[in-house]
Structure 1
Amino acid sequence: MFTPASARAASAYRTLSVQGGVEGATPHQLIVLLFDGLLASIVQARGALARGDIAGKGRLVGRAVRLVQEGLKDGLNEEEGGELAANLGRLYDYCSDRLTYANLHNDDAALAEVAALIQPVAQAWKEMDVKSVPGPGGLHA
């Protein structure tokens, strides 16, 4: 479902200063870190919006969109991941659209919506036992 240690996702991760290191991370760990960075960016963007820091909110929402598109979505492999990967791709597109809307309209509710949509997916990734995932169609650990 995800490409092996996607160079593009790793690059997005490094570029956007997500917490922790990416060196030596497995593809599964990288996805978990991308989710963590995405959720942290949304929380920080909501805080910036509440403080009236519109420039800061814009930077943080921009980071969140890049994590979704360049990290999570670009890491999908629809050939191996099938319907699940396609559904995740649609979710990521929707989240990117809502983040962009939130940025343009200073809409805290849209930011909260994206966090609520991503949180269960992020939690599922954290709980996933990579060793039990089959090779073809699963993660390439």
Structure 2
Amino acid sequence: MFGSVQSGANAYAKVGMETGVVAANPHKLIVMLFEGAQIALNNALQHMQAGNIPERGKALSKAIAIIENGLRASLDKTVGGELVLNLDSLYEYMNKQLLLANLQNKPEFIQEVQALLRDIQGAWEEIAPKSAPSAPAATLAEQTLSGAYDALAPTTPRLMKA
């Protein structure tokens, strides 16, 4: 009647992921695509080691879809110049390697794609837009609720603190 605990956990994870997507800026969305592809590739390797061919195929198909319909499709070939063309070719190569990994049961092909994705993701994270200065550790509301803030307590002016 109520479903399993696992289905509830999956639903909760899906809501969390959807909320992350809605709140993410375009740069973060690309990072999420890299992370999703890596998760799918890790799953594919696990299924390959376990001999679970159908699940291996599903995981590789998911990784290919993320690379093709997410990362590759997000490239703007009209303004990116040679870099974008090189990335486009690299994504195409990755997808071919993943197809071969599935057909030939070659984990080293998956591992090669994982390494390539890690390198590109690292470079992508290096060019992340700078975020706003970080907020104080605890907000005024949090301090008030925890009792750490007392509106009536005397305070020392900021310039006087050591």
TM-score bin (small chain): 0.7 to 0.9
Q: Which has the higher contact order (CA 8 A, sep 6+)?
A: 1
Unaligned 5+ runs, structure 1? 1-16, 132-141
Please list the CA deviations of residues 44-97 of structure 1 after superposition, one character each: whole Å capped at 9, or x if unmatched.
100110011111100000000000000000000011111111110000000000
Corresponding position of 2:60: 61
Range with bigger deviation, 119-128 or 82-91: 119-128
Please list the CA deviations of residues 5-56 of structure 1 after superposition, one character each: whole Å capped at 9, or x if unmatched.
xxxxxxxxxxxx7x83311321101000000001111111001100111111
Corresponding position of 2:47: 48
Distance 1:84 1:27 in 2: 19
Distance 1:52 1:22 in 2: 33
Aligned partners of 2:47 and 2:53 also within 8 Å: yes
Corresponding position of 2:78: 79
TM-score by length of 1: 0.76
Please list the CA deviations of residues 87-125 of structure 1 after superposition, one character each: whole Å capped at 9, or x if unmatched.
100000000000111111111111111111111101121
Unaligned 5+ runs, structure 2? 1-13, 131-162
Corresponding position of 1:112: 111
Question: Does the residue aligned with 1:130 lie in a helix, a strand or coil?
Answer: coil
Shift of 1:127: 2.5
Distance 1:95 1:49 in 2: 18
Distance 2:120 2:85 in 1: 14
Aligned partners of 2:27 and 2:128 also within 8 Å: no
1:1-141 to 2 correspondence within 5 Å?
20=17, 21-131=20-130
Shift of 1:130: 2.0
Shift of 1:129: 2.8
Percentage identity across paired residues of the two chains: 36
Select the structure of larger CA radius of gyration: 2
Distance 1:90 1:97 in 2: 11
Distance 1:48 1:105 in 2: 14
Question: Does the residue aligned with 1:80 lie in a helix, a strand or coil?
Answer: coil
TM-score by length of 2: 0.67
User: What one-letter code is carried by the residue in structure 1 that aligns with 2:76?
Assistant: N
In the alignment of these two chains, the number of paired residues is: 114
